């Protein structure tokens, strides 16, 4: 499948009927083996099994087929292979006389139908998964033989029977009486492990290399790029490009979920193609696609995917911003307090920070976070203060002793700049963060930036609502109680002082069935630990040059 190619054929010919039949066959095999099941159900199961199966063997095969049914729904080629192998074994049993001849036309028709459906399963097993499955199978056989020879009283001439015993329970073997049961149990567990391994999605890809990151840095600088575009340059992201190379999406894969951070970067005319390329890649790799921070304007490009609005990006337009007026009194007073306290400030490109200043600012960052690691994904960069990322500027506030007491880092994208990090020393004068934001808005106006993106206001509509129903009140109380840890309400109230406008952001995902894995992936990405950058011996100007700035 070519990247960016629409997947219309999968929508026209759904695979759920085959998955449903596979699941019914799994039930037909496993349920008759349970105690108390009706005899007629056991006779019906002979249609798919041919010969009677030992109960443990039937249950293991039924569980394996249930996994295969799920693999069919996910378009896994390994699931198709598994069905073909199972039907092939049934045909072999008929040819050798172990199963009745009347099953031959049924199995032949099923095999022919599966062959016609072969192109509808594009998700091939990753070579690492195949290698793991082969190693697991080999180790299982070797371990079974070793245990049987050492502890089971089995002779060398029965080694072949030991290996065969892994495929069923109650196989006749010389040696200990417990050995056939143990081999059957090990074989059943091994079968489930092998099926799970072969049906698993591809492992997470490595992050983009410097050549790809250089390309993405050029796309981030495109005038049409979104305000979240700079965060695509995180060094832990991999990339997928549109067919014309004029747009790209940065993403990470966790728990089989491929999470893109925001909209594509680059030329807006190629955004739809970048989305199609991302969805096609997820389909062929077996990943569940998701987006954290998609804008409303691009939601149609995601087609039938589900969306949840989870908050708003806070934006200020320098051309419309003013400190005058009663509504801005709190901000004016905050700025005035810092001036009375002798606070001074300056704005400097990050790559021009001296090693000494960088070290002091990193100390501010560490004390601001209480020693905790940097966190974030969709609206945070890594490499804090190393000079690695192009277009980063730092607003620094100094106390009366001329020591840094706070700083904020901003990164450029298109025609705007976006806040990345906001750190203040504990005990520093109140109003320092407001002071630096106001000065950055003035800086943006002087340098032709049309918009300044500040923090993210999660659940803004809930927090801003004057009339709340029962569920809304419960949600608000939960946010209020959790605020000391997640700072949703306090950050919203801080942002509100600047009278900003808001840009809705959404979570995009494939299906409600993915919601548990999606939540685990998003929470890990946003609140997982990011390695703190260590002070460098000298400014790292080379990486900035490396990325095209």
pLDDT at 18 over 70: yes
pLDDT at 279 over 90: yes
Which of 73-82, 138-147, 196-205 has the lowest average pLDDT?
138-147
CA angle 221, 407, 233 (to 5 degrees): 30
Virtual CA dihedral for 152, 155, 158, 162, nearest 10 degrees? 20
pLDDT at 10 over 50: no
Q: Where are the beta strands (DSSP E) in 3-134?
A: none
The candidate with the shortest Cα–Cα distance to 416, out of 140, 226, 278, 186, is 226
Selected residue with higher pLDDT from 135 and 172: 135
pLDDT at 414 over 60: yes
pLDDT at 48 over 90: no
Quote the distance between the C-alpha of residue 500 and its chain's center: 31
pLDDT at 532 over 50: no
> Across residues 191-201, what is the average pLDDT?
88
For residue 541, the model assigns a pLDDT of 36
pLDDT at 397 over 60: yes
pLDDT at 175 over 80: no
pLDDT single digits (tens) 415-425: 789 998 889 88
For residue 522, the model assigns a pLDDT of 86
Judge whether 413 and 226 are in contact, CB under 8 Å: yes
> Across residues 420-442, what is the average pLDDT?
89
Beta-strand pair 451-458/416-424: parallel
Buried b (16+ CB within 10 A) or exposed e, 224-248: bbbbbbbbbbbeebbbbbbeeebbb
Which one-letter DSSP state was computed for residue 373? P
> Across residues 192-210, what is the average pLDDT?
89
Cα dihedral sign, 263-265-266-270: negative
How far is it, in rounded angstroms, from Cα 529 to Cα 165? 47
Half-sphere exposure of 524 (CA within 13 A, CB side): 14
pLDDT single digits (tens) 74-121: 888 888 888 888 888 888 888 888 778 888 888 889 888 889 888 888
Q: What backbone phi and psi angles, to 5 degrees, belong to 310?
A: -120, 10
**What's the pLDDT band for 33 if we cut at 50, 70, 90?**
confident
Selected residue with higher pLDDT from 236 and 544: 236
Which of 23-32, 53-62, 404-413, 469-478 has the lowest average pLDDT?
469-478
pLDDT at 122 over 70: yes
How far is it, in rounded angstroms, from Cα 502 to Cα 311? 9
How far is it, in rounded angstroms, from Cα 48 to Cα 28? 8
The candidate with the shortest Cα–Cα distance to 186, out of 207, 217, 163, 214, is 163
pLDDT at 537 over 50: no
Judge whether 334 and 393 are in contact, CB under 8 Å: no
Q: Which residue carries 């993915």 as its tokens? A: 514
The candidate with the shortest Cα–Cα distance to 405, out of 347, 360, 350, is 360
For residue 126, the model assigns a pLDDT of 85
How far is it, in rounded angstroms, from Cα 279 to Cα 271? 12
Contacts of 32 (CB under 8 A, 6+ apart): 41, 42, 44, 45, 58
**What's the pLDDT band for 241 if we cut at 50, 70, 90?**
very high
How far is it, in rounded angstroms, from Cα 453 to Cα 215? 23
For residue 474, the model assigns a pLDDT of 67
Mean pLDDT value across the chain: 81
How far is it, in rounded angstroms, from Cα 368 to Cα 441? 23
Q: Which residue carries 């997470």 as its tokens? A: 204
């Amino acid at each position: 499948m070519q990247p960016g190619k629409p997947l219309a054929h999968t929508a026209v010919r759904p695979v759920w009927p085959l998955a449903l039949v596979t699941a019914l066959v799994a039930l037909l095999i496993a349920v008759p083996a349970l105690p108390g099941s009706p005899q007629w159900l056991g006779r019906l199961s002979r249609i798919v099994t041919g010969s009677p199966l030992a109960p443990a063997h039937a249950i293991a095969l039924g569980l394996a087929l249930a996994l295969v049914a799920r693999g069919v729904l996910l378009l896994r080629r390994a699931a198709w292979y598994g069905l073909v192998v199972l039907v092939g074994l049934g045909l072999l049993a008929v040819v050798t006389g172990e199963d009745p001849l009347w099953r031959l036309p049924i199995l032949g028709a099923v095999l022919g139908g599966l062959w016609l459906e072969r192109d509808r399963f594009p998700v091939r097993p990753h070579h690492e998964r195949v290698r793991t499955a082969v190693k697991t199978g080999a180790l299982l056989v070797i371990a079974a033989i070793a245990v049987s020879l050492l502890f089971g009283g089995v002779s060398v001439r029965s080694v072949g029977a030991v290996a065969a015993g892994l495929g069923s329970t109650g196989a006749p073997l010389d040696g200990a009486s417990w050995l056939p049961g143990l081999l059957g149990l090990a074989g059943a567990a091994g079968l489930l492990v092998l099926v799970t391994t072969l049906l698993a999605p591809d492992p997470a890809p490595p992050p983009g290399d410097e050549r790809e990151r250089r390309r993405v840095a050029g796309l981030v600088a495109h005038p049409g790029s979104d305000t979240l575009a700079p965060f695509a340059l995180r060094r832990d992201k991999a990339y997928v490009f549109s067919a014309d190379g004029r747009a790209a999406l940065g993403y990470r894969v966790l728990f089989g979920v491929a999470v893109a951070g925001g909209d594509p970067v680059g030329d807006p005319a190629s955004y739809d193609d970048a989305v199609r390329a991302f969805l096609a890649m997820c389909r062929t790799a077996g990943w569940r696609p998701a987006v954290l921070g998609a804008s409303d304007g691009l939601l149609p490009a995601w087609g039938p995917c589900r969306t949840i609005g989870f908050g708003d990006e806070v934006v200020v337009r320098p051309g419309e911003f003013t400190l005058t007026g009663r509504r801005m009194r709190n901000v004016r007073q905050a700025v005035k307090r810092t001036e009375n306290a002798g606070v001074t400030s300056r704005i400097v490109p990050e790559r021009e920070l001296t090693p000494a200043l960088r070290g002091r600012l990193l100390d501010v960052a560490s004390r601001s976070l209480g020693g905790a690691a940097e966190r974030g994904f969709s609206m945070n960069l890594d490499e804090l203060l190393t000079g690695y990322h192009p277009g980063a500027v730092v607003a620094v506030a100094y106390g009366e002793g001329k020591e840094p007491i706070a700083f904020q880092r901003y990164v450029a994208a298109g025609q705007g700049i976006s806040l990345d990090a906001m750190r203040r020393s504990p005990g520093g004068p109140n109003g320092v963060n407001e002071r630096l934001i106001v000065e950055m808005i003035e800086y943006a106006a002087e340098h032709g930036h049309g918009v300044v993106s500040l923090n993210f206001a999660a659940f803004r509509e809930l927090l801003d609502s004057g009339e709340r129903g029962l569920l809304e009140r419960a949600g608000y109380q939960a946010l209020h109680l959790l605020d000391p840890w997640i700072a949703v309400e306090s950050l919203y109230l801080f942002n509100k002082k600047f009278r900003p406008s808001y840009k809705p952001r959404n979570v995009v995902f494939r299906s409600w069935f993915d919601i548990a894995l999606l939540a685990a992936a998003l929470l890990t990405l946003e609140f997982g630990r990011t390695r703190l950058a260590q002070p460098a011996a000298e400014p790292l100007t080379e990486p900035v040059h490396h990325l095209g700035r």
